[in-house]
Structure formats: C-alpha cells, structure tokens
Structure 1
C-alpha cells in the first residue's frame, strides 16, 4: 500500500473540513466493551437521575422529559420552509454529523417517505426519480446560540430513505429501504398510480456542502438497505439489510477507496457451518467467516415478492451465504463491525453481532433473553464520555432514548412527551413515535436525535458526566 492509504489521503481529510479529527475525538474504541457488558448484565443504573418535564426552548412546549439540568431545542420541523421556500418533508429518520466548523455543525437527515404525492423536493440535479418524494435535508446548527442556521434540500426523488452512515471523508450515505423496478406501477394516493421512472433500492452519497449528484452507487447493491459503516483502515463498506423473511450482511470492496461511485465488488457474509443465524445460536459463540461474491448487485428483488429468487440475498444464499433477520444498526469501532438484528434470537427481541475483519470471525456478542432486558435494538451511537445511546423503536406507548454506561448499566435518559393540539399544524399523541438518527456534535456537548412523527429534530445539552453518555 502507498503511504497515502489505507483509506484517505491527506487531501481528502482536509476536504472533509476537519471532520475526521472531530469524529476521532469521540473515541470509538469503547464500543466492544460496552456491548460485551450489555450481554452480561441487565442491571439498571441511576444514570443522570429521575426524569422531569422539560420545555422546548424553541416552541415553549413540554415535549420531552429529561434529567435535571438538561435543556433542549427543536428545529427542522416537517412543514417548515426550507431554502427555496420548499416545505420540509416528514418522516425524519437516520441522520449524521458530516462537518463542523467553529460552533456550526452540519447534519444530513433522511426522510423515509414512500408513497406520497408531490414528487421530488430537491432541484433537478439532485433528483433521481422526479415523482418520488423521499430524500435528505441538510441542516446547519449553531451550538453557540442553540439555534438552527439554515436548512435546505440535498437529495430527493428517492424512496424510503431509512438509515445510512457517515463516511470518514465527511459525507452521508443515504440508503433506500425498498426495492422497485423501473416501469413498476405503484399506487400514490387513491386516484393516482405512479410508474417508476427509475429503479429503487440503492445507496446515494450526500456531501456536506452543496447537492448530491443523485447517482446511485450500484456496486453497493440494490436491496432493502438499512445502515452502512466504513472501516477507515481499508475503505471497505459494510451494510445491513432489513429483510423480514431473510436478510444478509454485506461488504463492498471499492475499486478506489473513498470514491464509491467508481465501483467495486459486493459480497455477502458466510458463517462457516451456520447457514441460518436467526435462531438457535448461543451468546459468545464465534464462527469462521468467508465471503460469497454477488455477481449481479443491480439485480434487485424484494425478498417477499414473486421474483425474490432473482434478488441480491437470493444470490448470496445460493452461494452459501448466511441469513439473519431484520438487520438494522451498523457501526465500526474497536477494530470490529457491530450490527444489530432487531428481532433475532430465540426470544425474537434482539441480537448484537460483531464481525472481526482481522481474524475473519463472527461473534454473537449479545442476545436479549426477554423484552424487559432489551427489545428491538435499533440505531446506536457512542458518546465521547464512554457511554452508548440507544434509540428505541418498539411497540411501547412511550418511546425513549436509553443510555448505557461504560460498565454496561442501562438507564433511561429521555422520554418522549409529544402531545400536540394544532401546534405546527399537528394534533395527536406522538409519544409512541420512534426515535432515530442519534449523533453527537464533534465537541460532544450536544446530542441530536429525530422524532420520526410528526417529524422534528432535537438538540440536547446539559451537565454531561464521564462514564455515562
């Protein structure tokens, strides 16, 4: 390898606006210890203490419950005007911090919009399929004033933009969690059927500045994408698939590390001797890993559709690849790739897996024995203080942000209290709406997260303590 490898040249790091250094300061190495501790304890921790009603600094409404001393503001609400006087879309989902300059943080936020009228909300050059209304918005937030600076469209014409991941060079990978084929007809509302002008099921890259090229990264495959993460040592991209019947864990070996649109090879994980990893596994077991080539990454098919045997996961299974169920969050840290299976395990309430690239081993780090321990683990993010934030997406009537200490103690950090009566044009009880997109500012002083419905972002700050989150 050159001195300029394994992944990023000095030029590309500088191009990322210092983001590589900012994110490195968050310290990813504790992730292995945290998740391992989660598998050995279900004890609760006092955390930051009891929760109490807190009023939004923006609207004045009592939208959250937080520990004493913490405050928050909301911004980027659905329906508010973006740059160009375009209404902000709803269904706020995955999100990441892609740049930081002084006190201003840049976030890219997914909008998991599927069947909806109106079409693209982005300029034509950042639109993939003009009649489709999913995509991303880019927001700048000033941590010094605690206010949003501006918000603008950055990608649209996509569908069901669920999760994704931040790249080491300061961009966002926005993933479509749906598979549709060009020419396929889909009902949009009661009186209109949209014929797809483009195929869907791709990953798109969004820069921190300007607009996405809206060009799909075909080499990353066409399937029900969930999350993506990159090993900064090699540039290899790891991906999860949210398949209900069966799902694969994939990697894309880029032809040119850091330049994903230039193509690469897609492969599906094979756990030797274990073709089915959905049930019947034991916590702590390790399995040797091999990789199965996906010859036709663009041959997408919904695994629940009549053409499922043509899809990416079917190709992988035919070559001996192992199946999971509903893979969700995915993060690289401590030299490993950690990923979650929402309803995996014998109790069907969650698994956490770790892939070790250096030894080519797969480890079942944690399997929840009961929903009272952990139910439906989704996205996670590491804190600079050695803890872990877990977004809840369960069937519970009130959704929470959980914290996990460095020793594995679980605590409730934030509880939704979103009940609206016409504010912002929304009415109803939204306490059961999922949390998504948790991420920290580069200095670690602000935690950002999305309330999926009715759709807004929160920025939380307060008396953080080492060892917690």
Structure 2
C-alpha cells in the first residue's frame, strides 16, 4: 500500500481531513490573513550560500553566534545540548532568551542570555539546574518559562527568566514524558504534548486564579484528548484520575484517549493551538472554541517535502508558523498562506538538530540553537541570532 493511502486511512479513522496537502492560513481569522500577506516571511526570497557561520539566509539577513556550549559568559558556562527556548522583555529594556539543557543524570536545566536595548549581550546565568532532559517547554503570558523534562516521570518547572525567583515544580501538570506547553491567552488553559510514539495531547484547566487572573498551576484538572471517530475531528476531553501517575502512565489511564506519534513543539495563536508530531511529520491545528482538530501540514502528502523532522515550533504576529527540523535538512521552515519554504538552513551540522526558535519581543531577531553542533556531541551546541527584515 502506498504511503499516501496509509495516511488517508489514518485521517479517515477519526474523520480528520487534511484540506489539500497544506491548509495554509485557512484556520486563521481574516485580519491575521491580511497581516500575513503584508509581512510574510516566505516573500523574503531564496536562501543564499552559507555565510561565515555556515548559515544560509535570504538576502538582507545576517547571523551571529551568541554562545557555544562550554563557553564562559559573565561567569556562567553556557550549557550543553541547548534545546527549547523563548524570549522575554526586560523591565529595564532589552530582552532575555532562555534555553533548556537536554542533559540527563541531573545535569539538565535552563540558562539565560540577557541583551540590552541595543541588542548587546550583557549577562548570562542559570534559572534552573539539576534536572533531567529539559527538552522544550513554553512561555506564559505572565512572563515565566515552563521547562519540560522529557523522562517517564518528567515534571514541568516554572522558571523566572530574570533569575530573581527560584524555579518551582508544577505537579498538577502531571508526570509523563513532557515535551512542550502552550497557554491559551484568552481562556488561560494550558495544552501539553508528550514525546512518546503513543503519547497524548493534554489540557490543563485551573480551578483557581490569582488576583491578576492568572491560573493556579498547583490547583487544576489535567485532561487527555480523544478525537471522536467519524466526527471530522471533534475532540472530547477526559479528566485524568491520577496525573501523578502512581497507578499507571497518564497516556494509559483513559482507554478512549487518542495516541499521537511523538508529540513535539506546540504554539498558540488567536484561538488555534498548533503542535507537531515527529513520527508522522505532521503539524496539527486544534481550534479551542470549536474543540476540533485538523491536520495543518502533512509531509506524507508531498513527493519531496521541504519540511521533515518536525520539532520545535514558534510563530510571528502575522500568524505564520516557524518549524524547526530535527534532522531533515537542518532548516527552520515557514508555513504561511499555503506556502512551505525554508527561512534558513545550517550547513555542516548534519548530526544535530535545530532547537529553541524564538523571535525577540520586538520581532527584530530570531534565536535558535544547533543542539549538537558540527560534531554531533551535546557539548558542542551552538546558539545563533539572526537579524534582518523580519
């Protein structure tokens, strides 16, 4: 049986239809579509030959390396295996880029790079240490970083990107092979992915909120998604009886749950939660109001897909998605308006993966890491900054 036939049968099992090979911005509100047309990154042109840092970029963009694993920066040794990341606006101007360290044996954690308003690197420090396989995570609207441990009993740690407050475990978010988190900024619900071949898609609903209206991450209900067969993607949510997984893994507690093949990055934008699954090279889109899931991108529907090895995901204010490749062609690829085109490519890092893509708060810079650099070893990670007409 052809791969395309297998894919179609999988879609039909749940009544989920991919709108062509790629649904583009069809799920986005019309104002976002208009913004995407005027600000589209796919209009930046073809990639030029590699620059002095080995990065292929469109005309007008430049790269610099801001950190190497093992490098001493302001007294902090930049961590090995840099993975998921995000940026935060500094109160005094400038911004902070945080980056997970995907090391095991209590050697993981999160490091931070602080830039001033001129974009100059002025500080580096740790905001979490002695944890395991901190893979991806997610940024919150209340300006914290949720760092996820990708282990069987992995936890979510809430971190202060500015390093003033100690990190705290958020046990109500469950114990499982956490990958990434996204926050619905309107309803203040959290959505989580699980990096297992039979992993699940989770939702957290807080029971209480602080005076600013932010959800209590220690008092809530963790749910797992079921895509109802024959419903054209309708999702039913089931509360987990034991999020702490003392009786059995969370992904097995609800027989009706739907399995996803290797959940990876996740991103929320204007009522849609996007997430990637590496086992089938797909990007999914969950409409939080309609509670309906569809396939946004499926590499299996292309003869020669531009985007493979889907992993971390982020987006810009225009609603375009930037998807990092774990393997593939070591690219960050833009999905926008029906287009699937590379924004950049790192050359000579074939044994690595692109991780932690994040735009600066003002949209002028893009940060990401090559987790294992040119050698394929975790101690040789490289963290980049891209500037240009974003």
TM-score (norm. length: structure 1) = 0.68
Give the secondary structure class of the aligned counterpart of 1:94. Answer: strand
Cα 1:269–1:103 change in 2 (3 A) is same
1: CA distance, partners of 2:111 / 2:65: 16
Question: What RMSD over aligned residues (CA atoms) do the two structures have, in Å?
Answer: 2.5
1:137 Cα deviation from its structure 2 partner: 0.7
In the alignment, which of 455, 461, 469 is matched to residue 381 of structure 2? 455
Identify the match of residue 156 of structure 2 among 203, 213, 218.
203
5+ unaligned residues in a row in structure 1: which ranges? 1-28, 38-44, 56-61, 116-131, 180-199, 275-284, 301-308, 345-349, 419-429, 465-469
Query: Is residue 255 from structure 1 mapped to residue 179 from structure 2 by the alignment?
Result: no
SS of the residue 1:169 aligns to: coil
Which ranges of structure 2 fall in alignment gaps of 5 or more residues? 1-23, 34-41, 373-379
Q: Secondary structure in 2 aligned to 1:313?
A: helix
What pairs up with 1:166-245 in 2 under 5 angstroms? 166-179=139-152, 200-211=153-164, 213-244=166-197
Deviations 1:55-77 (A, max 9, x none): 3xxxxxx3322223321221132
Q: How many residues align?
A: 343
- Structure-2 residue corresponding to 1:313: 251
Distance 1:272 1:78 in 2: 45
Q: How does 1:133-172 map to 2 (within 5 A)?
A: 133-142=107-116, 144=118, 146-172=119-145
Aligned residue runs from structure 1 range 7-406, under 5 A: 32-33=27-28, 47-55=44-52, 62-83=53-74, 85-101=75-91, 103-115=93-105, 132-142=106-116, 144=118, 146-179=119-152, 200-211=153-164, 213-244=166-197, 246-257=198-209, 258-273=214-229, 286-299=232-245, 310-317=248-255, 320-344=256-280, 350-368=281-299, 369-370=301-302, 372-373=304-305, 374-385=307-318, 387-394=320-327, 396=328, 398-404=329-335, 406=336
Residues 290-336 of structure 1: per-residue CA shift (max 9 Å, x gap): 11111111116xxxxxxxx811111123xx21111101121111312
* Distance in 2 of aligned mates of 1:439 and 1:289: 29
Offset from partner CA, 1:110-166 (integer Å, 9 cap, x none): 010114xxxxxxxxxxxxxxxx1100012112352x431111011011100000110
* Equivalent position SS for 2:253: helix
**TM-score of the aligned structures, taking structure 2 as reference length:** 0.81
Is 1:445 aligned with 2:364? Answer: yes
Distance 2:127 2:296 in 1: 37
Q: 1:168 to 1:30 in 2, by over 3 A?
A: farther
Q: Secondary structure at the match of 1:233?
A: coil
Cα distance change, pair 259–33 in 1 and its aligned pair in 2 (3 A): closer
Distance of aligned partners of 1:176 and 1:371 in 2 relative to their CA distance in 1, 3 Å threshold: farther
Question: SS state of the match for residue 49, structure 2?
Answer: strand
Check the 8 A contact 2:88/2:360 in 1, yes or no.
Answer: no
C-alpha displacement of 1:356: 2.1
- The separation in 1 between residues aligned to 2:94 and 2:178, in whole angstroms, is 30
- 2:38 alignment partner in structure 1: none
Contact 2:171 2:218 in 1 (8 A): no
- 1:376 deviates by 2.5
Higher-Rg structure is 1
Q: In structure 2, do the counterparts of structure 1 residues 261 and 360 end up closer, same or farther at CA, with 3 Å as the change threshold?
A: closer
In structure 1, the residue matched to 2:343 is 413
In structure 1, the residue matched to 2:12 is none
1:40-98 CA-to-partner distances (Å, cap 9, x unmatched) read xxxxx67423412323xxxxxx3322223321221132112255x34322000000012
